[in-house]
Each structure stands twice: as C-alpha cells, then as structure tokens.
Structure 1
Amino acid sequence: MTIKNALATAPFALAIILAGCGNQDAPESEANAATPAAAATGDSAMPSAKPTRAAGQEWSDVVVKTPEGGYAMGDPDAPVTLVEYGAVTCSHCAAFEQSAFAPMKKDYVDSGKVRFELRNFILSPFDIPITLLTQCEGPDRYYPLTEAVFGEQEALMQPAIQLSQSNPQALQDAMNAPLNERFYNLGKAMGVVDFFASRGLTEEKAKACLSDQSAIEQLVATTEKGVSDGVTGTPTFFLNGEKIQTDKWAEMKPRLDAALGAQ
C-alpha cells in the first residue's frame, strides 16, 4: 500500500484533529499546554524587523516564520517570491525537495533573486506530529529537519502505515486522548519521536512541542488558508501570487527564469 492510500484510509478526520482545540472548558493543565513549548521553540512571535544577512551567511541561511505560519528563506526584498503549500507525508513534495532544493537555494535564493516559503499543509493526522517536530527548534532548524524528513520519508512512514493496517485502534486511541497528549501519543506510536531524537531533539522538548495547542491551531489555520487560496493537492505553488501545480523542478525552473526576466 502506498503512503497516499494508507493515509486516505486512516480512521481519522480533521474534525477529530480539532476536537478540544480552543475549548474553554478544558482542564487548566491542558489549556496551558502551549506555554512550555512556545518558550522552548522561541517561535511564538513574528519577527519585528526585516531579516538581514550576517557576515558569512548565505541568504538560504536566513529563515523566518511568516504571519501565515510558513517558513521563508532568502532576501525579503527578492524580486520573486515562491510559496509552496506542502505536506511532510506527500511523496510528490519529497520528490520536488530532493530535485529542487539544492539548485534553487544555490542559484536563486543565495543570489537574492528568489525568496522561498514553505507552508505546511495537513493531509492527514500523520502530518501533525511530524510537522510540529520540524518546527520545534525554530526557524534555524526548520529546513534541515524538514529535508531530513523528506529524504527518509518512505522509511519514516512505514511504522504508521503498518500500524494503520494491523492495529488501527491504537491510532484511534492516540487521537482520542486529551489534546495535550494526543499528538505526543500519535508521534510515539508512529516512531517519529525517536526519529527526531536521533537528530538532537530531546524527548522532553518533543513532548512540549507536541502538546503546544497554539502551534496545532496555527498549523490548522495555515491549512485552512491554503484551502481558501485554492489548494486542492500538494505540492501547490504560488509564484508571485500566481497558482502553479507541479512537482517537477524542470517545470518550475523556467517559470522562475521567466518571472525574473519580467522584472
């Protein structure tokens, strides 16, 4: 079974993801669950000043979180902006990353020509713990962790696929837990907490990030923004505001060149 098919048959829905979010009657310990994670990531506030490049930095090293909940790399004054709505469980997104990221950063972002922003999109509940953990250490670590996920996506998703087939009740039980436990339980069941632990993210910090209600709500809001922008599948790109649906660098590169030529 492919990742796409396994996710399509997973016994969850967005309504289950959202159950308990913004619930004013939630226990105090759950309502305050975002506090330690927000402090741990330093990601709770938008940057107050335009990002600049320090001596010795490439523009692809300059990453900020955007008001839309995405992560933008590059010169904020670049003449071309490329926004991707992508999902960490999306195989086409992984294929694009593996073919495009290196040349795009080297030839377009580092040169100051293009600013690239990735906005995480929820395809299924499996996206949520993985995405929260890519964001857990803030903008500086977001792209390295995301690239690690895309590079090992097939192997990373195998435990979740197998569990959804052999013991779907375990996944259902994880999703039925209180919100401040839900995505930690799911992440443990999927094995993704261990994946990130091997990349330097302690389990304590992972648990804090996976219980961060504000981060969960931001991820849902980013997905809803994508839907309102006309996203019906991933990856979907917006090149200077124009919607483009492709997963091929060979198709995207000439579009970037044309956009730059029109400046």
Structure 2
Amino acid sequence: MTTFRRIALATLAAPLALGLAACGSGTEEAGGLSGEPIAAIPAPAGQSWGDVVAKTPEGGYRLGNPDAPIKLIEFASHTCGACANFSATGAPVLKEKYVSTGVVSYEKRSLIRDPLDMTITVLARCGAPEAFHPRASQAWAALGEFGQTLNANGALMEQAMGAPEDQRFVMVAQAAGLIDWFAERGLSRDQAQACLSDSAAITALAEQSRAQADIFEVTGTPTFILNGKKLDENQWPALEPILQQAGAR
C-alpha cells in the first residue's frame, strides 16, 4: 500500500477532532525575544496593512507590512483541529490588533498532512493571493463539515486513491463536497478543477511544504516562528504576550 493511500484511508476512518492540542509532536525551542515598544508604521496612502497580501518565495502567504520588524510565521494544516481553533480565536485578534499597525506581519505556510489537507490547501491557494486568508479561515471553520461529508462518501474516496494523479484530488474534493463549497465563496468550478488537476504544481507544493518544515524542524501544527525562532506556544493566550514582549505593544 502506498504512503498516499495509507494516509488517505486513515483520514477517512478517523473523525476530524477539533481539540486544542497541537496536531503532531510539540516544538522544542522557545522564542526568548524581547524589545522596546515599536510605534505603529503607517501603510501606503490608500491602503491598510490588513489588505496587503503577498505570496512569499517560501510558498507562504504573508499578510501585512512586508518590512514589519516582527515577523510571525504559522505552519498549519487544514485537517488540524488546533489550527482551526487558532484560526477562530487567535488570528482575528492578531490581524486587527497587531498586523493592522504595520508592526507585525503574519505569514501562513502549509504543512501538508494528508490528501484532504492537500485538497483544501490547493483550493484555498487557487486564484489571487488576496483570497487566500479569507478562504483558509472559512475552511478551518468548516473542518467538521468536510470530515462528515468525506466519511459519508467513503466509496468515492476509495476510488480517488487509485485514480490518475491529475484526477485524484478532484475526486477527493468531490468526496468532501469541496468544489461546491468553494464555488459558493467565489472560486469557480472550472478554476477549482484546473488547480486540482495540476499534478506538477501539487507535487511541488508537497515538496516545498516538507522542505520548509525541515528547515525549522516543525513536527506538529500549529507551529509558530517568530523572527526566525521556533516557539513552544501554539495558541493565542500564550502567543500574544510573546508578541508584546517582542515590541508589539
């Protein structure tokens, strides 16, 4: 049995829990960053930092001031309940209170765990960079719904595992109800199928995901990197004081 098939069947068999524990083993290195308070940095005329999005060379999607003195990276998985929790309880405050000032930038990078995760990630990334963060947030909020739909369509998921590479993720998306779900949020069915059929791009995304995780020794999600240092903390109540200590206050 291939690794892809084995992971996929495990995804199908297990309910998608929405717990707070990190999805995978924890981090080992604390941030230990401190600094003086940093004054707000004005956005360019006619813009707000919350609307400034760019795809980074590392494959992430950075929100906010590209030159922010405090750079926060989150490694996240779309089938990770702890990531869904941070998306709901931490990310909105982070964006409103800190990214908006230009002092903190917030970049999401994908750590792909399984075929459903890959499928959601590809669809969230499909199209303009500005659409990524809103789509990703909404997808985390609907994680339980996707899991239920996938579990109800086990036969189609089983077929997807044996399908050609350019059809496999289209079939996973159909099994989880993702093509219709994303269409309701502005991603056309034609766009979705084109992105999901691009097996070369999907392979490159998987390789980039693993390479970036290896650089920072990321073994679980969410994992946060603050100015190049990996943090132990993975939820907002513990993360916010670290940002403040680093100067975001």
- Secondary structure at the counterpart of residue 114 of structure 2: coil
Tell me what 2:189 maps to: 203
Query: 2:146 corresponds to which letter in structure 1?
Result: L
Q: Residues of 2 paired with 1:160 and 1:258: CA distance?
A: 43
1:9 aligns with 2:6: no
* 1:30-41 equivalent positions in 2, closer than 5 A: none
Among residues 128, 149, 156, which one is paired with 2:146 in the alignment?
A: 156
Tell me what 1:55 maps to: 45
Among residues 207, 225, 244, which one is paired with 1:221 in the alignment?
A: 207
Could you report, residue by residue, the CA deviation over 1:113-171 in whole angstroms, capped at 9, with x for unpaired residues?
A: 111100011111111111111011221100110111112221122111343xxx3x532
Structure 1 length-normalised TM: 0.75
**Distance apart, 1:261 and its partner CA:** 6.8
Tell me what 1:67 maps to: 57
Paired residues of 1:79 and 1:114 also in contact (CA < 8 A) = yes
Tell me what 1:100 maps to: 90
**Distance apart, 1:53 and its partner CA:** 5.2
Give aligned-pair identity as a percent.
38
Paired residues of 2:224 and 2:234 also in contact (CA < 8 A) = no
Tell me what 1:194 maps to: 180
Q: How large is the Cα RMSD of the aligned pairs?
A: 2.3
Query: 2:226 corresponds to which letter in structure 1?
Result: L
**Distance apart, 1:188 and its partner CA:** 0.7
Q: Residues of 1 paired with 2:54 and 2:203: CA distance?
A: 19
Aligned residues: 214
Paired residues of 1:121 and 1:219 also in contact (CA < 8 A) = no
Q: Residues of 1 paired with 2:184 and 2:107: CA distance?
A: 26
Q: Point out the more displaced range, 226-235 or 83-92.
A: 226-235
Structure 2: state its 5+ residue gaps. 1-6, 14-41
Q: Residues of 2 paired with 1:59 and 1:141: CA distance?
A: 15
Moved over 4 A (4+): none
**Distance apart, 1:100 and its partner CA:** 1.2
Q: Residues of 1 paired with 2:194 and 2:248: CA distance?
A: 46
1:247 aligns with 2:234: yes
1:259 aligns with 2:246: yes
Aligned CA distance change for structure 1 residues 205 and 243 (closer, same or farther; 3 Å):
same
Q: Residues of 1 paired with 2:190 and 2:202: CA distance?
A: 18
1:109 aligns with 2:96: no
Paired residues of 1:119 and 1:222 also in contact (CA < 8 A) = no
**Distance apart, 1:242 and its partner CA:** 1.0
- Secondary structure at the counterpart of residue 113 of structure 2: coil
Aligned CA distance change for structure 1 residues 187 and 195 (closer, same or farther; 3 Å):
same
Q: Residues of 1 paired with 2:99 and 2:204: CA distance?
A: 26
Structure 2 length-normalised TM: 0.79
- Secondary structure at the counterpart of residue 95 of structure 1: helix
Structure 1: state its 5+ residue gaps. 1-5, 13-51
Q: Residues of 1 paired with 2:140 and 2:54: CA distance?
A: 20
- Secondary structure at the counterpart of residue 108 of structure 2: strand
Query: 1:63 corresponds to which letter in structure 2?
Result: V
**Distance apart, 1:219 and its partner CA:** 2.1
Tell me what 1:3 maps to: none
